[in-house]
Amino acid sequence: MGAGPFRLVEWIPDSRIVLEKNPNYWQQGMPYLDSLEFRPLPDTESRYASIENGDVDVVYGGYNQELVRALRNPELRVYYGPGNAGEYLYFNFNQAPFDDRRMREAIVRSLDLQALGASLYNNQLVPAKSLFTDESPYHTEEASNAWPTYDPERARQLVEEYRASGGNPDFTFKTTQARVPFGEFIQAQMAAVGINVELQFYDLAQFSSSVVQSNDFQLTTWVGGFDSAFPGATRLLRSDGNSNYGKYNNPEVDRLLDEAVSTTDEAVRTRAYQQVELITGEDLVVAWFSRSYLSTITKQEVKGIDRYASRDGFYARTWIDRTPG
């Protein structure tokens, strides 16, 4: 189906998708593989075990646990790279306490990223404090400077101000079963500034549908790197964006995003995205903490990995080295 390098031959929901080489593909000699089989492996431990045991040739690593373990395994190859956006906490703008900016700022100021990197990221965390990376033409130092710094004392003050105004700063933190240590880290950091956090963990499928996509959370975690501003920024920040799960709504940001997409003037586009980054940073739409660690992990004999920052791959040039030894 279509003009791509592979065509669909079998799809069994929750089991596998099988693709075979398209003999009419326009690039002569490609694809190199005769077929591909994709299997859903939503559990982090079983997914990593499948690549480590040789049951599969490639896995998409969703979390740092897989990345760090695979880097230590000489039998595996790891592809990853921080991109725009990254790992962050979603604030629910429709629910207390995070409909109040003071509480969003309290969360950001209470996160010790150095401690997080040492305890859970093998000291390889790449801190994030803005929508775009420092190398992006759409990033400004003004946006970085506007981001709240780690300051637990100021966080405690904000929590007490919120409490004094009649609000309850305590909340439930929901995440996946693969992120139990991260949840416990958040719980400890919040306790240090006077917030009691209840932890709830879900399997990945339930978490995605029943928690994040259903907007049934106060604070939760997500990872969403992208290699280009459009559609990545629009999906995350526009009021009707399909990954704006926190339900953030700012008409000026909507206008700037639309302007960036519609203009043919690169200077106008750059200014629009720079303003989007600054405004959404000041609004604390999400709590950035790390650039994306989405990874592709393969056996040593898998060659020709052609990978986007989003972790998705183009498999026409992928091949397997069957050379003995």
CATH of the domain at 130: 3.10.105.10
Peptide bond into 137 cis (omega under 30): no
Q: In the sheet where 58-61 sits, what is the strand order?
A: 58-61, 295-299, 76-80
For residues 311 and 155, the model is more confident at 155
The pLDDT of residue 69: 87
DSSP 271-286: HHHHHHHHHHHHHT-E
The confidence score (pLDDT) of residue 163 equals: 98
Least confident of 71-75, 163-167, 177-181, 321-325: 321-325
Place of tokens 């997409």: 261
**Hey, what amino acid is at 73?**
N
pLDDT above 80 (res 5) = yes
In a domain, 264, yes or no: no
Residue 62 has pLDDT above 90, yes or no: no
Q: How confident is the model at residue 310 (pLDDT cuts 50, 70, 90)?
A: low
Q: Indicate whether 58 and 168 sit together in one domain.
A: no
Q: Which of 3-7, 71-75, 219-223, 247-251 has the highest mean pLDDT?
A: 247-251
Residues 47 and 100 in one domain: no
- Across all residues in the chain, what is the average pLDDT? 93
User: Residue range 153-174: average pLDDT?
Assistant: 98
- Its domain, for residue 168, covers 84-225+285-290
Give yes or no: residues 160 and 212 share one domain.
Answer: yes
Look at residue 2 and tell me whether its pLDDT is greater than 80. Answer: no
Residue 190 predicted with pLDDT over 70: yes
Query: Is residue 262, in this structure, part of any structural domain at all?
Result: no
What span, in angstroms and rounded, lies between the C-alpha atoms of 84 and 261? 17
pLDDT at 65 over 80: no
Q: Is residue 30 part of a domain?
A: yes
Within a domain: residue 238? no
Structural domain contains residue 249: no
User: Is residue 272 a part of any domain in this protein?
Assistant: no
pLDDT of residue 227: 79
Measuring CA to CA, which residue among 310, 297, 245, 303 is closest to residue 54?
A: 297
Q: Is the peptide bond prior to 97 cis by the omega test (within 30 degrees of 0)?
A: yes
In this prediction, residue 47 carries a pLDDT of 87
Maximum alpha-carbon separation in the chain: 71
Which tokens sit at 276?
Answer: 């989007």
Nearest-10 Cα torsion for 308, 313, 314, 318: 120
> Please, what is the end-to-end C-alpha distance for the chain in angstroms?
38
Considering the domain architecture, whether residues 129 and 145 belong to the same structural domain is answered as: yes
Q: What are the pLDDT digits (tens) for 121-160?
A: 878 888 999 999 999 999 999 999 999 999 999 999 999 9
Judge if 113 and 214 occupy the same domain: yes
Tell me the per-residue pLDDT of 44-59, one tens digit each, with 9 for 90 and over. 788 899 999 999 999 9
Q: Cα separation of 99 and 301, whole Å?
A: 50
Mean pLDDT of 13-19: 92
Band (pLDDT 50/70/90 cuts) for residue 248 is very high
Q: What is the CA radius of gyration of the chain?
A: 21
Same domain, 173 and 211: yes
pLDDT recorded at residue 3: 84
Apex CA 156: angle with CA 113 and CA 192, to 5°? Answer: 55
pLDDT at residue 93 in the model:
98
CA distances from 235 to 91, 171, 228, 248, 272 (A): 16, 26, 12, 11, 16
| Same domain for 153 and 73 | no
| pLDDT at position 214 | 95
- Whether residue 279 lies inside any domain: the answer is no
Torsion of CA 39, 41, 46, 49, to 10 degrees: 40
Give the model's pLDDT for residue 198: 98
pLDDT digits (tens, 9 = 90+) for 79-127: 887 778 889 999 999 999 999 999 999 999 999 999 999 998 878 888 9
- Could you count the other beta carbons within 10 Å of the beta carbon of residue 26? 9
Tell whether the model's pLDDT for residue 1 goes beyond 70. no
**CA-CA distance, 296 to 313, in Å (whole number)?**
9
Q: What is the CATH number of the domain that holds 304?
A: 3.40.190.10
**Burial level of 63, CB count in 10 A (0-12/13-18/19+)?**
buried
Neighbours of 307 (CB within 10 A): 15
Whole-model pTM: value is 0.83
Residue 166's pLDDT is 98
Is 242 within the bounds of a domain?
Answer: no
Angle at 77 between CA 5 and CA 67, to 5 degrees: 105
Residues 131 and 219 in one domain: yes
Do 178 and 143 have their domain in common? yes
Alpha-carbon distance of 238 to 235, in angstroms, equals: 6
**Phi, psi for 98 (deg, rounded to 5):** -90, 10
Same domain, 150 and 104: yes
pLDDT above 90 covers what percent of the chain? 78
With 80 as the cut, is the pLDDT of residue 293 above it?
Answer: no
Q: Does 55 share its domain with 165?
A: no
Structural domains of the chain, count: 2
Residue 309 has pLDDT above 70, yes or no: no
Q: Kindly state whether residues 100 and 143 are assigned to the same domain.
A: yes
